[in-house]
Chains A and B, each alone.
Chain A
Amino acid sequence: MTGPPQLVAAAQVNAGDTAWMLIATALVLLMTPALGLFYAGLVRSKNTLNTFMMCVAALAVATVMWAIVGYSIAFDGDGPIIGGLGHAFLNDVTFEPRDGTTIPHLLFMAFQATFCIITVALVSGAVVERMRFGPFLIFAALWSVLVYAVLAHWAFGGGWLIEGGTLDFAGGVPVEMGSGFSALAAALVVGARKDYGRQALLPHNAVYVLLGAGLLWFGWFGFNGGSGFSTGNSGVLAFTNTLLCPACTLVVWFALDLVRGRQVTAIGAATAIIVGCVGITPAGGFISPGWAMALGALAALPSYAVIVWRPRTRVDETLDVLAAHGIAGLTGILFIGFFAQNSWNGVSDGLVYGDAGQLGWQALAALAAPTYAFVATFVILRVIGLVMPLRASEGEEALGMDVVQHGEEAYVTGEGAVLMPTAPDGERPVKEPV
């Protein structure tokens, strides 16, 4: 007679896997301040701090919401649409290995939390330079549960997509398409910046942008390489593909820049790094290194096209989250349907290797995730907008969100600054005689 089945099936915590996942979690966490740097460089100098602070806000709000309820919605049970509340307040999340992995459940939760954080931060790129900080905090809290956790359940946590057969290695559904199409909805609800389309609104520090992109790429090795939850083959494959794919995107982006403007641009290169990393995110552990390089080259094309086209429209999706994340994520998700290879991933073949059904499930994910993200984000922001104004006044927008929202400046000189004996305690600034 054998023992109870759950004892036979129970995996042990593996020291090597746990060590790697501890590091991978820290790598992914670094991506959020890296994104802050990337975004801060892309805005005008008077909005530097506010833009960065939206990413810091994600670190605060998304983490807390994840621990309270988001993790449970995403990863408790296998309901088709949402998970249960069994892990609310991290109930029953302990040192025992998480089902299907050889790492402690607690660490699994922390790793997944860093995904939720970066995704919330990504959406902020659509509304920088005009959305007020307070409503953004409320939006971040609601969105992290109602959109991110739900999509994560569909793709990772036992929801209808993963159960049906959709392959999404590291978050093409919840992270990339989730943030990209939510960003489009957010830009539409919040509205364009007052000077959008009338004045050139240029990035104020291209070095921040490049450094941010570089740090994001670095962190992405944890993001993709950790999504195998082990030091096994799929993690190693995804890790290596995270090196190869963005390099190919960079090369093609250089070529596109040369054809279009006869010069290779720095901000274009930074964007290409992001697009390449996003493209390989869903596919990392499922396609061969050769196909990963092909994906990198291919993913540049639709994202480049959207980045060229979008500023000609009236949609001020300010930092092109849709193009860099939504479109590139969608490209990666569909690419799996064609080029997934059982001999590399041990899970499934795509159309080219004989399984057309895989493409069907990838296409379904590419339809469902953007639709849900767009509609849910639209409704959340509309509801918040009923209670409080989402955006700053035109005068405040002209002055810059750093001074208006935070009472600080990124590049303050201190000239002419007079010490105040006591904190103002909310009193209005006084008019000084000259």
Chain B
Amino acid sequence: MKLVIGIVRPEKANDVLTALYRAEVRGVSLSRVQGHGGELDRVETYRGTTVKMGLAEKVRFEIAVSDEFVEPAIEALCEGGRTGEVGDGKIFVVPLERAVRIRTGETDHGAVTPVDA
């Protein structure tokens, strides 16, 4: 059981969702985050004030999956999120200790397997 964290461009979030859906990875959380990963800074000017925008808007996917879905999830994130330019984002995979589905009390593998309903 792993937690796959993908940080992607906001404009690619829809493509990533589509790719995840096609890979039959269900059950995702996403949040808007700001970050910096070595891409070019944007320069903006507000009246007389010129600033370098150090943080870029990103979307962070968090996907808890059983081991056999780790590779499909990573592939979907890469396929949906890639533009080839600096700033496409990162994927982190971390081990998951426990997972509980609140409705049923199912744990671990049962909790991260989507129900067909």
Contact = CB atoms under 8 A, between A and B. Distances in A.
Interface of A: 199, 395, 398-399, 403, 407-409, 412-420, 422-424, 429-434
Contacts of B41: 429-432
Contacts of B83: 395, 398
Main secondary structure, interface of B, reads mixed
B44 A434 contact: no
A407 B45 CA distance: 6
B50 A431 contact: no
B68 interface: no
Interface string B78-98: 000001010000000000000
Given A395-B83, A416-B54, A424 B11 contact: no
Interface residues of B, number: 24
B43 A420 contact: yes
Most buried by B among A403, A424, A432, A433: A432
Given A403-B44, A432-B41, 5 more contacts: A395-B85, A398-B9, A416-B36, A417-B54, A419-B51
B107 interface: no
B11 A416 contact: no
Contacts of B36: 416, 434
Given A395-B85, A415-B55, A416-B53, A429 B40 contact: yes
B42 interface: yes
Contacts of A412: 44, 46
B52 A398 contact: no
A434 B54 CA distance: 10
Interface in B1-48: 9, 11-12, 14, 34, 36-38, 40-46
A414 B36 CA distance: 14
Contacts of B38: 431-434
B104 interface: no
24 contacts: A398-B11, A403-B44, A407-B43, A409-B44, A413-B34, A415-B34, A416-B54, A416-B55, A417-B52, A417-B53, A418-B54, A419-B50, A420-B50, A420-B51, A422-B50, A423-B45, A424-B50, A429-B41, A430-B40, A431-B40, A432-B38, A432-B52, A433-B38, A434-B37
Contacts of B45: 407-408, 423
Nearest to B55: A416
A424 B50 CA distance: 8
Nearest to A416: B55
A418 B40 CA distance: 14
Contacts of A434: 36-38
Nearest to A427: B43
Contacts of B42: 403, 407, 429
A423 B55 CA distance: 19
A417 B51 contact: yes
B49 to A, nearest CB: 7
Contacts of A413: 34
Nearest to A408: B44
A320 B22 CA distance: 33
Contact of B52 (A399, A408, A420, A433): A420
A270 B51 CA distance: 37
A408 B11 CA distance: 18
A431 to B, nearest CB: 6
A433 B54 CA distance: 11
Nearest to A407: B44
Contact of A418 (B9, B34, B52, B85): B52
Nearest to B12: A398
A419 B51 CA distance: 5
A306 B83 CA distance: 36
Nearest to A431: B40
In the complex, the 3 A-B pairs of residues with the closest C-beta atoms, listed nearest first: A416-B55, A416-B54, A398-B11
Contacts of A199: 14
A55 B17 CA distance: 35
Contacts of A417: 44, 51-55
A412 B43 CA distance: 13
A407 to B, nearest CB: 5
Contacts of A432: 38, 41, 52, 54
Contacts of A430: 40-41
Contacts of A424: 43, 50
B36 to A, nearest CB: 7
A408 B52 CA distance: 11
A410 B43 CA distance: 15
